[in-house]
A = this chain, B = another copy of it.
Amino acid sequence: MIRTPYVLFLGDAPDPLAAKLAQGIKDWRPESSIGQIRLPGCRADMKMPDMTPRAAADAGAKTLVIGVANRGGVISEAWLDTLEEALEAGLDIASGLHHFLKNEKRLLKAAQANKRRLHDVRLPGTSYPVADGKPRSGLRCLTVGSDCSVGKMYTMLAMEKEMHKRGLKASFRATGQTGILITGKGVPVDAVVADFMAGAIEQLTPDNDPDHWDLIEGQGSLFHVSYSGVSLALIHGGAPDALVLCHEPTRKHMRGLPEYPLPSIEDVRDSALYMAKVVNPHCSVIGISINSSGMSEARANAYLSEVEQRMQLPCIDPFRYGAGKLVDALHSYQTTRV
């Protein structure tokens, strides 16, 4: 568990996109951050108070989160003075970069000297059990995609926000670096040793109130040959009661695999549901989430209607229109089922 409140480190971000992670934290957990730290030349701005590490610590911040990524996912030389200052001021540091904080000698030394923690969220922080497949109380919803990066995290975060607004019990369950940094906890499932993937997801989604929904962030796709094993472990470890299908209709081929076409939404539905029923015979597909960012509004609307009609399932772009339609569907599934 990463301690909050955060101060968001934007570094020398060359443009707003480089600070996508900080933006995600601000969008989904605005209450978790009290300020931002920017270096000269920074072109990103979260519209939060600018602070030094010391000022952030004095204002109550517990963790500096590296909210910026540069090419190659390394820790820039230009950041080191500020990061060291943060540790000396009493802050922990959290990072989702490929290059680990723990491998930077200056930071490791400063963390030890000041008894601070370095959270490398790409490294599993604990050991996980082998999955036992036992039923758990409470309800679980999982996003499954036609490809990587089609909106699986976004959809679950948007549904959580809407469910909390309605006073429904729901917890977003992060399974990737970004989601873990946004919410402060989770399992970096693609970094877990193969034998323990499904067990890690069982542990992430334990027994809960009968009317509580775990909203599990999906990863990869059953049809993405590089990562499909992770996707299946999420289905079998998550034992979902409900699935939301995620798709990006303008994608030309599977991400990183130019030779592979995308599966149809029907293929995603059939394969994911078949596999989910192995572990949870009650599982149902409750809706479809479309990432229509590559379409005009008119084209997106026509596409959403067409898919809704064809699939006979609620179909929405939660970024454009909110997740209300998906939460309606989840709630009505829950009511019918109980």
- Interface set of A (CB-CB < 8 Å, partner B): 130-135, 189-195, 197-199, 222-223, 225-233, 236-237, 239, 254, 256-257, 259-260, 263, 271, 274-275, 278-279
Within 8 Å CB of A227, what residues of B? 195, 198
Question: Is the Cβ of A199 less than 8 Å from the Cβ of B228?
Answer: no
Task: Give Cα A226 to B133, complex, Å.
Answer: 7
Query: How many copies of this chain are found per oligomer?
Result: 2
Chain B residues near A254: list those with CB within 8 A: 133
Cα(A149)–Cα(B307), bound, Å: 43
Question: CB-CB < 8 A to A263: which residues of B?
Answer: 278
Q: Is the CB of A197 within 8 A of B133?
A: no
Asked if A193 and B192 make an inter-chain contact with CB atoms under 8 angstroms apart, the answer reads: yes
Residue with the highest number of chain B CB atoms closer than 10 Å, among A193, A199, A222, A233: A233
Bound CA–CA A101/B300 (angstroms)? 59
> How many Å lie between the Cα of A191 and that of B195 in the bound state?
6
What are 13 A-B residue pairs whose CB atoms fall within 8 Å in the complex? Answer: A190-B194, A191-B195, A192-B193, A193-B194, A195-B230, A225-B237, A225-B278, A228-B233, A228-B236, A228-B278, A229-B231, A263-B278, A271-B275
Cα–Cα, bound, A139→B257 (Å): 21
Min Cβ gap A237→B in Å is 7
Since A132-B256, A133-B254 are in contact, a sample of 15 more A-B pairs with Cβ atoms closer than 8 Å, ordered by chain A residue number, is A131-B225, A133-B257, A133-B259, A192-B194, A194-B194, A194-B230, A195-B226, A198-B229, A223-B278, A225-B236, A225-B278, A226-B236, A228-B275, A260-B278, A271-B275
